[in-house]
Amino acid sequence: MLLSLCVLSSCAPRVSQLPPIPPPSEAPHDDPARDAQSRLLKEAHRAFVQERYPSAALFFRRFVDNAPDSPRLAEARWWLGRAYEQLGDYRAAIAQYRMVAAGPLLQQLNGTLYEGHALRRLDELRQLHAGQHNGRARQRALRVTVGQLPPIPALRPWLQELVQGDVTALVIGPAQALLSDGVGLNLEIVKRIVTEAHHLGLLLWVAVDLHQRQGMELRPEWATTTITGLGGEGASTPRPDIANPAYQSYLEETIRALSRTGCDGVFLAARSVAGFAGEFSDGSFRAFASSFGLSLSPKEMFTVNQLPDAQTEERPATYWRWVGWKALSYAKLIVRLRKVLRESNPTATMLLEVHQVTLSTPLQGLEQYGEDLAELVTQGTGSVVVRREGEGGEALLEKLGQQLGTVDRVWVGVSAKVAASPPSMEGLTQSLAEIAEPGRWNIMVVTESADAVP
């Protein structure tokens, strides 16, 4: 069966049976938007012919999403399916072929021809259990801060360099020099970056750290407190309380503002420091106590954890009830944020970053970072980016892919040191060569520089 799959993937449909790639039309149109669509489709076909399948899939996807009334939609969907096949994502390919074969596209250019080929390919794939993957890495995203980007006039050549290096998505986060609009990013600048990225077929995601101030003025009632010492003294922290109802409402407005920039989705960064379970605010602790009908103070809850040599298994059941309640609140918040995001853009993607330790030692990930993978998967939170913190873990990634329904939703986050800002593809390629190949997984590259970002 495996041999048959390989032969069919490479040989069927035969080249003589495939619809030909239409010659590009260089004639300008009166509509600039239509000209841009033609250029995008031309670039998509070029990427496919050059076997740059991740880029081809993104270009065709961009065309399908932005030109739903185009007379060339059947063509774009057919070749998007072909690109997905080359990436090993037969499930996504089948979805595209079904749309082509459904009938509404028959009035389009070569619609009948594409319908016949789509029906034939659907029959072939059904016989081969099309949900399997061929093991290739699919997408490669680059995560940078706005401060690492080149000036707007030089942005397009830099993005073109990324596309040529098979980067398929850009993830931008706030820089301390550009704090405005209450979300840590200048939204007008984000809109301009989105426009430039989309012109080249790149996806653009915005990074948001729910666990940090993100450029906002932290309201006192949102700030977290921890219990320190055996005396039960409270100490404030500079971090907001993820379970505080008022802070959660603020985050919904933040995501709603970001969705209006035209970005393709949001990347939710993992908590950077341990100690999730030990932080609380008055608002969240009152909500927890009320939910379970408890009458106790934070001092009574957390002082036991300050005892010398206190072991995890020795902590009281009420404490673990608090940990579970707070982690569930976090998971439900992510679902709410995803819903807000998709109200403006139904195709928007949410990527959630988690620590590798959460896969290997779930209780530690739950207590230290609030990451309950079982609950997050149940809630349907989108794709998951696993922050690499050591070698190995392939079996755990495979298991995560099974939980999510497809390995296509699993990402591996790796760090790459670069000497220049903005990072060049040459520098990134050199840095990535020193990193163990993460195999078939989507890759998110986080740039680290020895020099301070100006």
* Mean of all residue pLDDT scores within the chain: 78
**Would you state the pLDDT for residue 432?**
64
pLDDT digits (tens, 9 = 90+) for 337-353: 999 998 877 667 899 99
Q: Which residue has the tokens 């230290």?
A: 368
Picking from 97-106, 125-134, 185-194, which range would have the lowest pLDDT averaged per residue? Answer: 125-134
**Would you state the pLDDT for residue 256?**
92
DSSP state of 280: B
* Distance of alpha carbon 145 from alpha carbon 80, whole angstroms: 31
Picking from 86-95, 121-130, 275-284, 337-346, which range would have the lowest pLDDT averaged per residue? Answer: 121-130
CA dihedral (105, 106, 107, 110) in degrees, to 10, reads 100
Please state at what angle helix 317-344 crosses helix 245-259, rounded to 10 degrees. Answer: 30
User: Which CATH superfamily does the domain covering 140-449 fall into?
Assistant: Glycosidases (3.20.20.80)
The answer, yes or no, to whether residue 8 has pLDDT greater than 70, is: no
* Distance of alpha carbon 387 from alpha carbon 391, whole angstroms: 11
Rg (CA), the chain: 24
Residues of the chain with CATH 1.25.40: 2-126
The answer, yes or no, to whether residue 135 has pLDDT greater than 60, is: no
Question: In this structure, which CATH number among 1.25.40, 2.30.29, 2.60.40, 1.20.1250 belongs to the domain 2-126?
Answer: 1.25.40
* Distance of alpha carbon 448 from alpha carbon 148, whole angstroms: 10
Amino acid residing at 38 = S
**Would you state the pLDDT for residue 27?**
47
SS3 126: helix
Of the pLDDT bands very low, low, confident and very high (cuts 50, 70, 90), residue 354 is: very high
| Highest-confidence segment of 158-167, 320-329, 410-419 | 320-329
The answer, yes or no, to whether residue 327 has pLDDT greater than 90, is: yes
The answer, yes or no, to whether residue 12 has pLDDT greater than 50, is: no
pLDDT digits (tens, 9 = 90+) for 19-46: 656 555 444 555 666 777 888 899 999 8
- The continuous run of DSSP H or E covering 389 comes out as none
SS3 301: helix
User: Is the bond into 13 cis (omega within 30 degrees of 0)?
Assistant: yes
Picking from 223-227, 289-293, 401-405, which range would have the lowest pLDDT averaged per residue? Answer: 401-405
User: Is the bond into 220 cis (omega within 30 degrees of 0)?
Assistant: no
The stretch 88-111 carries a mean pLDDT of 71
pLDDT over 70, % of the chain: 76
- What does the buried/exposed string (b/e) look like for 246-265 if buried means 16 or more CB atoms within 10 Å of the residue's CB? ebbebbeebbebbbebbbbb
| 4 exposure class (CB count in 10 Å sphere: 0-12, 13-18, 19+) | exposed
DSSP conformation letters of 197-258: HHHTT-EEEEEE-TTS-TTS---GGGEEEEEETTTTEEEEEEEE-TT-HHHHHHHHHHHHHH
DSSP state of 282: H
* Distance of alpha carbon 258 from alpha carbon 188, whole angstroms: 10
Residues of the chain with CATH 3.20.20.80: 140-449
pLDDT over 90, % of the chain: 26
The stretch 253-277 carries a mean pLDDT of 91
* Distance of alpha carbon 304 from alpha carbon 307, whole angstroms: 6
pLDDT digits (tens, 9 = 90+) for 193-210: 998 887 777 789 999 999
**How long is the chain?**
454
Q: Long-range contacts for 313-319 (Cβ within 8 Å, ≥24 apart)?
A: 318/294, 319/277
Picking from 100-109, 280-289, 386-395, which range would have the lowest pLDDT averaged per residue? Answer: 100-109
